[in-house]
Structure 1
């Protein structure tokens, strides 16, 4: 989901430059965010075997996808990847579907699989933010935009629903509140439970904040535990909101504290300041064009990716160990960021 959000400026550049109808082929894990992206006209949801997904598909289903793409007669395919991914499986799908123009970054010579090929020099020569990477890709075919912000849309009705749910959950929206988002898609990105609790207790006790522990329905147990350990002033709202409502919740929050996951990019897309507890897995995905504080820390050697490109990062970029941030580091970052942005976003 975060990857798709970061591709929005590049998608916008294509839309503004060529005025096409844009269909996004994405996974079930990302598809939920599509209704909030106005630049996208249609979506095809398919969990391909080279993308992390909840379930494994049967191999023959790929031929069904190829046939569907062929029937829709697309003029071009743009393949967005992070630098540790290989675009050629997706390029083969586009090739078999008869899509005549196919654009992607690639390290090896793709020959006929790509008609437009941008040599991928990351991360060995340089590293850029994922948004910049995607923009540079579409710039190579003449697609440009002056608006490089991330953006997600929600209705005013959704805003009202969120306020009602907060009140029903025991939150007073008229008093200061913050979001603590502890849930992660990968265990190696987890931030220690006791430090979440210590930071929450300090912000409640010294600054009078209400702390909302957020997460998916599957994370309800862990969020409930964090709220219980924190005590008065903390409440778990995990599983309470739909994705659209969650976007609206983050939009209304004065600040979000989160591990490096899709929540960070939602915050950037609705202009909410964010403190990121940033496990060093990929340097491309820090908050984009939004006030932020990034607190990096190393992950255990045993949990690091086996991907050789990511291994290069640990040898070159992340070679010096970074300790896990303390609870007081979070408190200091929150205090500083709120002071810096006090005139930008009203604390509700």
Structure 2
């Protein structure tokens, strides 16, 4: 093989899962961009694609909802073959496959192989033989578990990429702010009064936190901090958010389904604090430097907020909803549950109080500013 990593000028990064996973890969994207000064393309899912406009390292986005990744789209052999031809025509020098340790990289490796991409790198548990030109034996979670950011940085380091900065990459656009203010007003919020963002909804049932506890947390925050509580959510979650808003009462505002991803990211950046379950929201908060309280279901503990002020509080997953993935089952049974701080209402309120206190910086955010 005559192609070498140092000569790559057109690299395809493949991250086929969700928005939060994609954001955790951005330090690795930056390392590739700065090391190889290359055209960086991204193959990602429709779910993750909306956030790519704020990631400056990415030059090109190709969307594919892979049949080996969980999503609501119907995949067909025809769309797979069309993608192979699309990738073949792009003449990429290399493909780097980013995965969570519980994902098998080989279907994606086959895709890159069929597209004729000469260099193909991924973590892999078994010997991939010709499907990957370069691979790292995957020791997670049997011997070690790295944070997802570190896992991805170690992967690109195998290709010779040097890491200069490990911060998450996400730019926000101030031009969206007038439109956000208008939407806030239409929903009953006042942008001149303090607020805190609560993002309680999540599609994955095992990550859903108790509704009645959300209500109590919301009421207590509004009462203790004399602020508005902006309830955010995705399109399709408006009705659930409205039920929660009504249950919390005065001071709660339903913004679910009203904001684009770009607007949502800017709102997060301008907020003093975000409270959420373990979804893409917490990684947007990390990328924008916004303190975050995470009510964390006991899944994928390597996906906690990266290098931002945070408090992570844990709750267990009901047995019927626990993953059937053997690796995730193994990891779950290794968790020292008795040592983790529980996601009780009391602990959430303490975490909110703690993170709203100044961290000794003159640039500390103020509520709603």
**TM-score, structure 1 normalization:** 0.97
Say which of 37, 49, 57 aligns to 1:19: 37
Alignment of 1:220-259 (within 5 A): 220-259=238-277
- Deviation of residue 20 (structure 1)? 0.8
- 1:147 matched residue in structure 2: 165
Say which of 321, 328, 346 aligns to 1:303: 321
- Deviation of residue 228 (structure 1)? 0.3
DSSP 3-state at the match of 2:77? coil
Q: Which runs of 5+ in 2 are unaligned?
A: 1-18
**Is contact 2:313–2:341 with CA below 8 Å preserved after alignment?**
no
Cα shift readout 1:146-196 (whole Å, capped 9, x = no counterpart): 211012112211123212322332212222100110111201100111111
**Is contact 1:88–1:113 with CA below 8 Å preserved after alignment?**
yes
Is 1:118 matched with 2:141? no
- 2:286 matched residue in structure 1: 268
DSSP 3-state at the match of 1:278? strand
- Deviation of residue 52 (structure 1)? 1.3
- Deviation of residue 225 (structure 1)? 0.6
- 1:164 matched residue in structure 2: 182
DSSP 3-state at the match of 2:352? helix
Is 1:346 matched with 2:366? yes
- 2:7 matched residue in structure 1: none
DSSP 3-state at the match of 2:103? coil
**Is contact 1:185–1:261 with CA below 8 Å preserved after alignment?**
no
- 1:109 matched residue in structure 2: 127
- Deviation of residue 342 (structure 1)? 7.2
Q: Aligned residues, how many?
A: 348
DSSP 3-state at the match of 1:203? helix
- 2:196 matched residue in structure 1: 178
Say which of 197, 201, 220 aligns to 1:202: 220
Could you tell which deviates more after superposition, 51-60 or 81-90?
Answer: 51-60
Is 1:291 matched with 2:309? yes
Q: Which runs of 5+ in 1 are unaligned?
A: none
- Deviation of residue 324 (structure 1)? 5.7
- 2:97 matched residue in structure 1: 79
- Deviation of residue 328 (structure 1)? 1.9
**1:311, 1:325 → 2: CA distance?**
21
**Is contact 1:298–1:324 with CA below 8 Å preserved after alignment?**
no
**Is contact 1:268–1:290 with CA below 8 Å preserved after alignment?**
yes
**1:326, 1:209 → 2: CA distance?**
21
Cα shift readout 1:173-226 (whole Å, capped 9, x = no counterpart): 222100110111201100111111111111111220110111012111111011
Could you tell which deviates more after superposition, 289-298 or 146-155?
Answer: 146-155
**2:199, 2:27 → 1: CA distance?**
25
Could you tell which deviates more after superposition, 140-149 or 222-231?
Answer: 140-149
**1:5, 1:185 → 2: CA distance?**
19
**1:55, 1:342 → 2: CA distance?**
47
**1:81, 1:331 → 2: CA distance?**
34
Please provide the CA RMSD for this pair. 1.4
Is 1:336 matched with 2:354? yes
**TM-score, structure 2 normalization:** 0.91
